[in-house]
Amino acid sequence: MRTLGTVTLGAFDGILRGMNMISEGPRVCIVVAMSRGKRAIGKQGKLLWHIPEDMKRFKELTMGHPVIMGRKTFESILSYIGKPLPGRTNIVVTRNAAYSFPEIVVAPTLADAIENAKIMDSSEVHIGGGSEIYAQALPMVDRLYLTLVDDEPEADSFFPEYADAFTKVVASERFTTPSGITYEWLTLDRA
């Protein structure tokens, strides 16, 4: 485990990218599964659906790349699989300077996490949630890999509004789960 220091360049770079003033460097992506209507993503620290094909897609998209996540999402992953996401550098954002766990990188701010992820990977870095981190990261993101589920379960975590800023459709595919829930994989780039 190592703790990253403050890197102000990360914040500045993110602001410029959010304003579309720079385009070079690794692509910053969000991968998220949400309800199509209310943009619901979680409840009581857990995911809302278990769609094996979607889990596989998350793995394929993120494998080999750094994945930045909030401390609560990291602990949710631990509750599911008992370890950090394998094959990816797990960068966990927390204000707790004493936080540690084997095989992860701890970042004290989101800007530090993104800046250091970009140093680790020259092609793509991923923002893996949850709600708090998605909301703060959205202005610094280039691409959204969305799973839009046609289902509205009860939830306490939501994804921020994105439709006005991300209007370029890169890919779209629709599927139905064995239990009859329809969903779409929609890849959007910033306009």
Ligand X SMILES: NC(=O)c1ccc[n+]([C@@H]2O[C@H](COP(=O)([O-])OP(=O)(O)OC[C@H]3O[C@@H](n4cnc5c(N)ncnc54)[C@H](OP(=O)(O)O)[C@@H]3O)[C@@H](O)[C@H]2O)c1
Which residues bind to ligand X, rule: CB under 6 A? 32-34, 41-42, 45-47, 69-73, 76, 93-96, 109-110, 128-133, 136, 157
Tell me the closest approach of the beta carbon of residue 24 to ligand X, in angstroms.
Answer: 25
Check: CB of residue 17 under 8 Å from CB of residue 142: yes
Local structure of 115: helix, strand or coil:
helix
Q: CB within 8 A of 20, min separation 6: which ones?
A: 190
Nearer to ligand X, 23 or 100 (CB): 100
Q: Do strands 157-158 and 40-43 pair parallel, antiparallel, or not at all (unpaired)? A: antiparallel
Q: Which is nearer to ligand X, 73 or 90 (CB)?
A: 73
| Pairing assessment for the beta strands 157-158 and 143-149 based on DSSP bridges | unpaired
Using the minimum distance from each CB to ligand X, give the nearer residue, 33 or 114: 33
Least distance in Å: CB of 63 to ligand X?
16
Shortest separation between residue 170's beta carbon and ligand X, angstroms:
18
CA distance 95 to 28: 22
Smallest CA-to-CA distance from 153 within 56, 53, 34 is with 34
Nearer to ligand X, 95 or 179 (CB): 95
Residue 126: which of 43, 75, 191, 57 has the closest Cα?
Answer: 57
Nearest distance from C-beta of residue 92 to ligand X, angstroms: 8
Coil/strand/helix, residue 136: helix
* CB count in 10 Å sphere of residue 153: 11
Instruction: Specify the residue, 104 or 133, whose C-beta has the smaller distance to ligand X.
Output: 133
User: Residue 43 Cβ, how far from ligand X at the closest point, in Å?
Assistant: 6
Q: Are 184 and 170 in contact (CB under 8 A)?
A: no
Q: What is the closest distance, in whole angstroms, from the C-beta atom of residue 110 to ligand X in the complex? A: 5
Q: Considering beta carbons, is residue 24 or 106 the nearer one to ligand X?
A: 106
